[in-house]
Each structure stands twice: as C-alpha cells, then as structure tokens.
Structure 1
Amino acid sequence: MTEAQDDRAFEDFYGHSFQGVFRVVVGLIGADEAWDVTQEAFVRTWISWDRLEGDDAHMRYTIAAAVGLSRSWLRRLYVRRSRSGDLVGEAETTSSSSSSPPDLGILEGLRTLPARQREALVLCDMYGLTAPEAATILHTNPGTTRVHLSRARLRMRQFLEEDDDIRHDDVAARQSRSVHDQSGGGR
C-alpha cells in the first residue's frame, strides 16, 4: 500500500471504529477520560498500522490498546490517590457527569465490579465480542473470561435490581408526600 492509501484506510477505519472503542473505554474508566484514552489507542494503532493486516487485526489491536491504556489510567489514578491519602475504591474513582441519564445506573454498576469482571462484561456485552475474542485481548483463556463474565452479569443484575428498588421506593415516597400535601395534610 502507498502512504496515501494507508492514510485513507486508517481514516476509514477510524471513522467506523471510533464510537465502538470509545464505548468500551467509557465502560472501563468512565466518560471523563475516555476521549483521551481512546485517541491514544488509535495513535498506537496508526503507529503499528503496517504490521497489522486486515480490519480484524486493526480492531483487535485497537481494543487491546484501549484496554491496556484504561488499566494504566486506573493504576495511575490509584497511585495518585494513595499518595495523597485519598484512598477510595476503584468503584468510586470516576465520575459520569458527561453520561446521559439512562446510562448512569449501568455506569455506576460497572464501577462496582472488579476490573477483570468489568473488562469481560464491557468487551462481551457492550462491545459484542465472544468470550474467546475477549480472552485474547485480556491475555487470559476463554474459560476464565466466561467465569468473569458470568460473575459480572450476576453482580450487575443484583446491582440494577437494588438500584431499581431504591428508585421505586423513592418515587413511592415522593408520591405519598405529594398526595399528603395536596390533601392539605402538609400545612
């Protein structure tokens, strides 16, 4: 391929792949730093472009780079916080201020998962990889990835059910107060 063809091929790849990779990174570290991490993953793909053959290889490399960069970002965050004495669990390390409201419960639930479970869930359920494909990216075997995925799904289901129960209780309490206030009981 000529340099111009490589440039065009990468631009096409970037255009149709960015949103999917970005969603993976948001699922792993939250929305605040996802843009930078995603961009860096694509820079690394561009640097290695000539060594990779086919969109499938480019995509695998980009996702693997995004996962690795997300892990590094989380490690650096943990080190900064441990040095400052602000030790918080990984589940509380990122904010979701730029996420849309429907995603908040899912993002909060993802933050409660251990890193390997979160990675397996994001790659398989949010990005659509099979367990063997995710295992290749995570440098583990498919059986281990399936175990992490199963545990993550169970924990997410429990988290979302608890979150749903809390929201229903909150709505019921507000409705009860509203009915009470409308009937003159709140005066």
Structure 2
Amino acid sequence: MTVATPDLLALSDKELLQRHNEGDADAFGELFRRHKDRMWAVALRTVRDPEIAADAVQDGFINAFRRAGSFRGDAAVTTWLHRIVVNAALDRVRRIKPTADLADHDPVEPRDHHRSVEVRLDVREALEQLPEGQRMALVLVDMHGLSVAEAARVLEVAEGTVKSRCARGRAAMAQLLEPA
C-alpha cells in the first residue's frame, strides 16, 4: 500500500482531481484512500450485499478514474463520486437475477422469508419500471435517507425537481404495487 506524500495530503479533492487530470500518477490514489470507506458504505446501503458492494465500489472508482476529465467542478468531488458509485451499484443489481438471498436475514425477528423475497422482488421490479430520474430520487431519498438537498446535489438537479420526482415516483410505485 502506498502512502500519500505530504504534498498530496494538503490538497483539496478538487485539486487532487485536477492533478490526476494533469498526469499525476498518485493523485487519484489519494482520492481513493480518502473516500473508499464512505463509498463502500454508500454501495453497501444500495445493494445490501458486501460482495456486490465491493464490486460496485471498484467499478465506480474505475469509472471515476476514466471520466475524471468530465468533472465540471459544480459539485463537491464526494458528491460526484457518490453518484458514480450509486450508479455502479444499481448497474450491478440490474445484472443480477433475483434470488432468495434478497431476503432479510434478521435472526432476532422471525419472518416469512418467502413473502419477504416476494415483496422485495415486486418492489425491485416496480422500481425498474420507473423513469431513471424518479428511480434515482426515490433510491437516494427513501432508501438511503439523504435529504432532498443532498439528493439534489448528487443528481445535479434543483431541490424542487427531486421533490417532484419523488412524489411522481411514489405515486407510480403505489399503482405498480397495488394488488391485482
């Protein structure tokens, strides 16, 4: 494991990203070191599976490394990374076939695991039918517990847009999940 040099430690995230774009071979490594744990937590909350989360973090940081030149600087680097990792995690989930492992394994509270899996699959299927903007807003606000303001920064839209996407998404989910 490489240790960041003192000059890199003193740089802001935006300065590190700029240095990476200018060819500094160590700058992105320092960004990774600073934010890997937070991005791991984001991915784990998104997919609730440590192996998938690890793959999503890896995918996310590879994407960020490759697309660093597209960072506009409008938001914090952490917000930009958060969005990339959430997208990578959701991409991973979309590629996985639903399995019984989706059930909560709560040893304290006995549950009907078959029903739990069924409900999760119904919710996942309903979420996948929503437009991307509504799905992302609901995932960030309702599932990750981000504030509307935080979700707006991650999605790079106005707070009012997040509120309306959540409202429309919840209404659509209610219809999609309504018993037949």
Q: What TM-score do you get using the length of structure 2 for normalisation?
A: 0.53
Is structure 2 residue 119 aligned with structure 1 residue 137?
Answer: no
Cα distance, 1:118–1:35 mapped onto 2, change above 3 Å: farther
SS at match of 1:123: helix
Contact 2:56/2:85 (CA < 8 Å) preserved in 1?
Answer: yes
Matches within 5 A, 1:38-57: 38-43=57-62, 57=76
For the residues of structure 2 that align with 1:9 and 1:143, how far apart are their CA atoms? 31
Equivalent of 1:66 in 85, 88, 104: 85
Is structure 2 residue 98 aligned with structure 1 residue 96?
Answer: yes
Per the TM alignment, residue 114 of structure 1 is displaced from its structure 2 partner at its CA by 1.1
- Greater mean alpha carbon deviation, residues 139-148 or residues 8-17: 8-17
Per the TM alignment, residue 13 of structure 1 is displaced from its structure 2 partner at its CA by 4.5
Point out the structure with max Rg over C-alpha.
Answer: 1
Deviation sequence 1:105-160 (CA, Å, 0-9, x none): 32122112111100000011111112222122212211111111101111222333
Cα distance, 1:70–1:114 mapped onto 2, change above 3 Å: farther
The percentage of counterpart residues that share the same residue type is: 27
Equivalent of 1:115 in 115, 132, 145: 132
For the residues of structure 2 that align with 1:21 and 1:93, how far apart are their CA atoms? 15
Contact 1:45/1:58 (CA < 8 Å) preserved in 2?
Answer: no
Deviation sequence 1:9-57 (CA, Å, 0-9, x none): 9557434541432443x49xxxx97653432224456897xxxxxxxx5
Matches within 5 A, 1:3-14: 3=4, 13-14=35-36
Q: Report what 1:150 is aligned to.
A: 167
SS at match of 2:102: coil
Cα distance, 1:12–1:144 mapped onto 2, change above 3 Å: closer
Contact 2:39/2:81 (CA < 8 Å) preserved in 1?
Answer: no
SS at match of 2:97: coil
Point out which structure has higher relative CO (alpha carbons under 8 A, 6+ apart): 1
User: Comparing both structures, which one devotes a greater share of its residues to helix?
Assistant: 1
Matches within 5 A, 1:67-82: 67=86, 69=88
- Greater mean alpha carbon deviation, residues 141-150 or residues 129-138: 129-138
Deviation sequence 1:48-103 (CA, Å, 0-9, x none): 7xxxxxxxx564232121245578x59xxxxxxxxxxxxxxxxx976323523253
Q: Report what 1:105 is aligned to.
A: 122
Unmatched tracts of structure 1, length 5 or more: 49-56, 75-91, 167-187
For the residues of structure 2 that align with 1:33 and 1:156, how far apart are their CA atoms? 25
Cα distance, 1:43–1:131 mapped onto 2, change above 3 Å: same
Equivalent of 1:20 in 42, 57, 62: 42
